[in-house]
Amino acid sequence: MKNQKKIKTPLGLRLIVWAFPKVEFIAPWLAKRWFVKIFFSTAKYKTPYGEMDIADKATKYQILYNGKQVQVYEWGEGKPVLFVHGWMGRATQFRKFVPLFTENGYKVVAFDATGHGQSDGSSSHLMEFVGIIEQLQNNYRKFEMIVGHSLGGVASFHAALAGISNKLVLISSPTVGSQILEEFRNKIGASEKMLPYFEDRIITNYGKTFEEYSISHNISRLRNTELLIIHDINDREAPYTNAELVHKLYPLSKMMTTEGNGHTRILKDEHVINAVLSHLKEPQYVSQSSFV
Please report, for the domain that includes residue 99, its CATH number: 3.40.50.1820
183 is a domain residue: no
Q: Each residue's pLDDT tens digit in the chain (292 positions)?
A: 344 455 667 778 889 999 999 999 999 999 999 999 999 999 888 889 899 999 999 999 999 999 999 999 999 999 999 999 999 999 999 999 999 999 999 999 999 999 999 999 999 999 999 999 999 999 998 899 999 999 999 999 999 999 999 999 999 999 999 999 999 999 999 999 999 999 999 999 999 999 999 999 999 999 989 999 999 999 999 999 999 999 999 999 999 999 999 999 999 999 999 999 999 998 754 444 332 2
291 is a domain residue: no
237 is a domain residue: yes
Contact 94, 45 (CB under 8 A): no
Distance of CA 62 to the CA centre of its chain: 20
The CA R_g of the chain, rounded to the nearest whole Å, is 19
Query: Looking at residue 286, what is its pLDDT?
Result: 44
pTM reported for the whole predicted model: 0.93
Query: Looking at residue 5, what is its pLDDT?
Result: 53
7 is a domain residue: no
Query: Looking at residue 63, what is its pLDDT?
Result: 98
**What range defines the domain where residue 251 resides?**
48-176+214-282
- Strands 167-171 and 226-232, sheet pairing: parallel
Rounded CA-CA distance 93/82 in Å is: 13
227 is a domain residue: yes
Query: Looking at residue 291, what is its pLDDT?
Result: 29
Nearest to 240 by CA among 257, 264, 216, 215: 257
164 is a domain residue: yes
The domain total for the chain is: 1
Query: Looking at residue 290, what is its pLDDT?
Result: 32
9 is a domain residue: no
19 is a domain residue: no
- For 110, phi then psi, to 5°, come to -150, 165
